[in-house]
Amino acid sequence: MIPLTPFRPFATVGLAVLLSVSALSARADEVYRVLTWKMAPYAMVDEQGKLTGFEVEIARALCDTMGIRCDITALQFPEVLDLLDRNAADFAVASILKTPERMKKYLFTDRHKRSSSSYIGRAGEWTLGVAPDLAGKRVSVTRGSKQYDYLTAKNAGCTVVIYDDQAEALRAVLDGRVDLALAPTAVTVHLLTSAEGEALEVVGDPLTESGLGGESAIALPLGREELRDRVNTALRAILADGRYDAISSRFLPFRMY
């Protein structure tokens, strides 16, 4: 008779533990690629040369809460969307409005802030509190933004001037290349508090119509439902424990949640 090999449960358990440790080690070495929008007050470089800003610090808090290592990169808005389209990033905390069109292309978390848009022009050239007459005007927007979609569809008789860089779109107002810029309200308010912003003013009231405002959420490539759920759990945690509000108060003049 051929003797049967005895069952060794501890060897099996030892192998399972070894495999689990190996899996955990591989996961610990993983670095998640996180994108933010390179525009103050969302992402900017401080006096010490460190990347900071509202969405940068929100991203850091989310990664810390999930216990993952993250490489946070600030890019121009069209680049953020392009990398998400190509599944070349894990998630983006980049003021991306949650719209029906975008929900077909990306996964979204719960909102991480609310958004609106405002026109900004040179001080003294506009009637305060009155919506600007766009006929014959040159208005700058950022490529791929909802402000771009709005103005190109509005047919208001203006010339839409498109920039990849939101900061350049705003500088175009300062140096007279355009009459107005249409940009997220938080961006325009932040600019007005700077030295160069003294020459500018918000024209009319903030806008939320036709996709100019609403809920901004963290975007992920399609198929990343498990990570989306983990980010949602982390987002709820930093809202509940006060970290979200502490970050918001550092960079924003008003609460945007």
pLDDT at residue 27 in the model: 56
Condensed to tens digits (0 to 9), the pLDDT of residues 155-165 reads 889 999 999 99
**Distance, CA of 242 to CA of 229 (rounded, Å):** 20
In the structure encoding, which two tokens stand for residue 201, read together? 């003013």
Q: Please compute the mean of the pLDDT values over residues 225-244 and round it to a whole number.
A: 98
**Distance, CA of 87 to CA of 105 (rounded, Å):** 11
In the structure encoding, which two tokens stand for residue 166, read together? 């939101």
pLDDT at residue 28 in the model: 58
Sheet holding 31-37, edge to edge: 69-75, 31-37, 91-97, 214-221, 106-115
Residue 103 has pLDDT above 90, yes or no: yes
Question: pTM of this prediction?
Answer: 0.80
